[in-house]
Chain A
Amino acid sequence: MNTISEFISYPFIQRALLASIMVGILCPFVGGFVVLRKMSFFSNAISHSAFAGIALGALLGIDFSVSSLALAVLIAFFIAYISEKTTLSPDTVIGIAFSAVIASGMLVMGMLKGYRTDLFAFLFGDILAVSRTDLLLIFITGVLTFAIILSFFKPLMQITFNRDIARVEGINVRFFEYLLFLVIALVVTVSLKIVGIILVTSLLIVPAAAAKNIASSMGRLFSLSCIFGITSGIVGLMGSVYLNTASGPTIVLVSIGIFFLTMLKPAYR
């Protein structure tokens, strides 16, 4: 059996490791807001709209990153706008958007000629096929995301706690909500190649939910989310290489394991 140092000497493993660390920090960091705002279903709809975007990109000959991001942002804003303008609950609006993107994605897939394996790679993710360009894209997105979230952490936290109080205190609630949705769409889109459309939501939610189980403060919630995300990424990737299993699902299962471990410890108050 190969040793860890032998595995790490392979460039594709190095890239995969770097990708899992970056996404392992990025997804749970944004996931903190997703969990606190109870937006799990929203992030699921966004990842599936990225799927429709990829299918549309394949049909129109547009770069997948561009088409998936464009549709993810469009759907995120659509959900925010319709929830605001109608009396429908956000849950219902997300359900409608979710159905629409799945149906559209499947319809467009049916219009494509031949069997497109490249599209299915997005469905399940392929961390071992991550390129230098992908790494650069994740890195830039990460820097941008951290800059936005950390700069606007206070207003984002205020609108998460209570929208009415935030509005009275002069915070532009609509602007910050749209900004948060934009960031979630961005993070989901760049993470697709790592764990795939089906599992990307898990990486957003599970480490943050595990952190919420044991965190007593907001600072701890976000730092523990990132620690659990990185641990899941590294252990999951190395485990998948050793056990010859699919990397994305192994990473997610490690994070689920961490979640159950945190369930053993009651929250400190």
Chain B
Amino acid sequence: MNALSVENLCVKVNSRHLVENITFSVEEGRIIAIIGPNGAGKTTLVKAILGLVPSTGSISMFGIPFINKNSHIRIGYVPQRIEFDRTFPLTVSELVGFTVPPMLSFPFFKSRQEKEYIESLLETVGVQDLADRSIGTLSGGELQRVIIAKAIVNNPKILFLDEPASGVDIEGQERFYDLISRLNKEKGLTIILISHDLNVVYRFADNVLCMNRKLICSGKPEEALTDEVIKSVYGEMMGAYIHSCHEHD
């Protein structure tokens, strides 16, 4: 079954196409990476799929048309940059707890069940020691893990990650993508991932979708990302870099 089907998706701002006629589908339980140069419309594409920016075309998730967020499909989303006030007095467990159902509940006293559930989520993403830390004091990598914990609270069937490891150090990135891979395998999560790092794409993605406002290619990374495609999208230098990545693998 397809977890996501997108047909003829267009996003237009002031008669300029940011995303033009994109059609693709993602099988359930797969990791798909969306790549493309800066300004290619990757973030816009994801936002359009999620209904955060106006678009035309059709989107369905798990066979259900996805219109105006009324389809009750559980979705997780980790945006590219989480802009928030660093002085926001909010602890990690509070942030994750605000997503835990029921939504209509007294906020400051958590039941034991709720506490245990939050602890298990933080443990899943490896930040159980940070439960009482203020979110403003977290490093980029720690914050991304916390946001992932928040995103998986409601057991989503599909997870959208927009350059989730940007600004995170190399070790942090490794741990982050291992976590993503584990969530995909253990929970059967379908993951849509925007990335600039082609190494990540080769190592973690089942399929790749390459775009520059329009769809350039899609398929398995080893098959779809030919030297010609890489050069046309990223230029000669990146073509050589990818070639060396392949040799190392």
Contacts from A to B (Cβ < 8 Å): 36, 38, 150-155, 157-158, 161-162, 164-165, 167-171, 212, 215-222, 267, 269
Contact = CB atoms under 8 A, between A and B. Distances in A.
B94 A219 contact: yes
Nearest to B99: A169
Interface in B56-94: 69, 72, 75-77, 79, 82-85, 87-91, 94
B103 A269 contact: no
A38 B87 CA distance: 12
Contact of A168 (B50, B107, B137): B50
22 contacts: A152-B104, A153-B106, A153-B107, A161-B88, A161-B95, A162-B82, A164-B47, A165-B77, A165-B79, A167-B50, A168-B50, A168-B51, A168-B76, A169-B154, A215-B89, A217-B94, A218-B89, A218-B90, A220-B89, A222-B108, A267-B87, A269-B134
Contacts of B88: 36, 161
Given A157-B98, A219-B108, A167 B52 contact: yes
A212 B89 CA distance: 7
Nearest to A155: B103
A153 B99 CA distance: 11
Interface of B: 47, 50-52, 69, 72, 75-77, 79, 82-85, 87-91, 94-95, 97-99, 103-108, 132-134, 136-137, 147, 150-151, 154, 160
B94 A36 contact: no
B84 A154 contact: no
Contacts, number: 93
Contact of B85 (A36, A164, A167): A36
A215 B87 CA distance: 10
A168 B89 contact: no
Contacts of B51: 167-168
> B75, B134, B160 — which one has the most chain A CB atoms within 10 A of its CB?
B134
Contact of B69 (A167, A215, A220, A267): A167
B107 A150 contact: yes
Given A36-B85, A157-B98, A162-B82, 13 more contacts: A152-B104, A154-B97, A154-B98, A154-B107, A161-B84, A161-B90, A168-B76, A168-B77, A169-B76, A216-B91, A218-B91, A218-B94, A222-B108
B100 to A, nearest CB: 8
Contacts of B150: 165
Nearest to A171: B103
Ordered nearest first, which 7 A-B pairs have the shortest CB separation?
Answer: A153-B107, A168-B77, A215-B89, A219-B108, A217-B91, A154-B98, A221-B89
B134 to A, nearest CB: 5
Nearest to B106: A150
Contacts of A222: 108
Given A164-B52, A218-B89, A218-B91, A154 B136 contact: no
Given A154-B105, A154-B107, A161-B84, A169 B75 contact: yes
A212 B77 contact: no
Nearest to B134: A269
Q: Which of B104, B133, B151, B154 has the most CB of A within 10 A?
A: B104
Contacts of A153: 98, 106-107
A158 B99 CA distance: 8
B155 to A, nearest CB: 12
Given A150-B106, A218-B90, A269 B77 contact: no
